[in-house]
Amino acid sequence: MIKKKPTENRGRIDTVTLRKPITLNRSKITSVVIEIDHINYGLKKDGSGLNTKARSNFTIKDIEKFLKLLDGEEIAAVDHTGKISRFSVRIDSPIKEKFFGQTFIMIFDIDSDKDNELHTITLFPGWQK
């Protein structure tokens, strides 16, 4: 099930119920929030909205494949703000047609009140600065 929710400056955000849950830091993740436009375009440096030029063309299904690579992992948060833990991981693309084997940086949050939900903020090429 996908619920689409447009946002003012971050583009389309979808909530997806995973067909097969993943286990991350011993929590069973059953749903993910995916900022698909943020992933594909990135935000302008001033944060006022999305860039106009795409940096990738991933689909929701592609991002689910990236997330499956996290199954069984124990990952330390890089930052904590209140109940939100932020994570940053280097991950190789599992998508054969799209950047296969190239390294990306994935940034995601987990709210301690919703430890079954992962919020994928962005995924960008690890070879860019």
Beta bridge partners of 14: 4, 34
Measured CA to CA, the distance from residue 125 to residue 121 in angstroms comes to: 14
- DSSP line for 83-100: TEEEEEEEEE---TTSST
Residue 128 pLDDT grade (very low, low, confident, very high; cuts 50, 70, 90): low
Specify the pTM: 0.87
Measured CA to CA, the distance from residue 105 to residue 115 in angstroms comes to: 22
Structure tokens at 43: 């935000």
Closest CA to 60 of 26, 12, 126, 106: 12
Residue 97: what are its φ and ψ, rounded to 5°?
-85, -10
pLDDT in tens, 18-70: 999 999 999 999 999 999 999 999 988 887 889 999 999 999 999 999 999 99
Structure tokens at 57: 């063309």
